Amino acid sequence: MSDPPQHAVERAFRDEWGRVVATLIRRTGDWDLAEDCTSEAFAEALRVWPRDGVPHRPGAWLTTVAGNRALDRLRRARRGAELLEEVGRDPLRREGVEMDEQDPDDESGIEDDRLRLIFTCCHPSLAIEARVALTLRTLAGLTTPAIARAFLVEEAAMAKRLTRAKAKIVSAGIPYRVPPSRLLPERLAGVLAVLYLMFNEGYAASSGDDLVRADLCAEAIRLTELLVELMPSEAEAAGLLALMLLQHSRRDARVADGGELVTLERQDRARWDRAEIERGISVLEAALRRGPVGPYQLQAAIAACHASAADAESTDWPQIAGLYELLATALPSPVVRLNRAVAVAMAGDLDRGLALVTELAQAGDLPGYHLLDATRADLLRRRGDLAQAAAAYELALAQAPSEPERRYLARRLAEVRAGSG
Partner 1 sequence: MNYLLLISDGVPTADKAATMRREIPAWIRDTRGRIYGQPLAGPDAAKTVRVRDGQTLVSDGPFIETKEFVAGFDIISCTDLDEAIEVAARHPVSWFHTVEVRPFAADTAPGARPWMADDSGRRDELAARLATPVADGATRYLLTLCVDGIPESDEEEAAIDRDTEAWIAKMGGRGVQVYGHALAHAEMATTVRVRDGETLLSDGPFIETKEFIGGIDLIDCAGIDEAVTVTAEHPITRFHMIEVRPLAPE
Give contact residues for partner 1 (rule: CB under 8 A). 123-127, 130, 164, 167-168, 171-175, 179, 183, 186
**In the complex, least distance from residue 236 CB atom to partner 1, rounded to whole angstroms:** 18
Q: Which is nearer to partner 1, 163 or 358 (CB)?
A: 163
Q: Which is nearer to partner 1, 113 or 405 (CB)?
A: 113
Q: Name the residue among 261, 300, 267, 260 with its Cα closest to residue 282.
A: 300
Q: Which is nearer to partner 1, 127 or 387 (CB)?
A: 127
Cβ 215 vs Cβ 150: under 8 Å: yes
Alpha-carbon distance of 374 to 352, in angstroms, equals 17
Instruction: Find the shortest distance in angstroms from Cβ 113 to partner 1.
Output: 17
Minimum CB distance to partner 1 smaller for 176 or for 408: 176
Residue 27: what residue type? Answer: R
Distances 332 to 14, 94, 293, 338 between C-alpha atoms, Å:
38, 47, 15, 11
261 forms bridges with which residues in the sheet?
255
Cβ proximity of 385 and 416 under 8 Å = no
DSSP 4: -
H or E element in which residue 376 lies: helix 370-383
Cβ 29 to partner 1, closest distance in Å?
A: 12
In the structure, how many helices (H) and strands (E) does the chain have? 20, 0
Between residues 81 and 418, which has the closer beta carbon with respect to partner 1? 81
CB of 177 to partner 1, least distance (A): 9
Q: Name the minimum Å distance from CB 126 to partner 1.
A: 6
For residues 18 and 179, which CB has a smaller minimum distance to partner 1 in the complex? 179
Smallest gap from Cβ 115 to partner 1, in A, equals: 16
Please state, in angstroms and rounded to a whole number, the distance separating the CA atoms of residues 99 and 87: 13
Distance of alpha carbon 27 from alpha carbon 125, whole angstroms: 23
What is the Cα Rg of the chain in Å?
25
The least distance separating partner 1 from the CB of residue 25, rounded to whole angstroms, comes to 15
For residues 321 and 12, give the distance between their C-alpha atoms in angstroms, rounded to a whole number: 44
3-state secondary structure of 339: helix
Residue 86 backbone phi and psi in degrees, to 5: -60, -45
- Of the candidates 382, 409, 411, the residue with the CA atom closest to the CA atom of residue 398: 409
Residue 14 or 160: the one with the smaller Cβ distance to partner 1 is 160
Answer whether 92's CB lies under 8 Å from 158's CB: no
Residue 54 or 169 with smaller CB distance to partner 1? 169
Q: How far is the CB of 89 from partner 1 (least distance, A)?
A: 12
Bridge partners of 402, per DSSP, are 208
**In whole angstroms, how close is the CB of 145 to partner 1 at the nearest point?**
23
Looking at beta carbons only, is 117 or 174 nearer to partner 1? 174
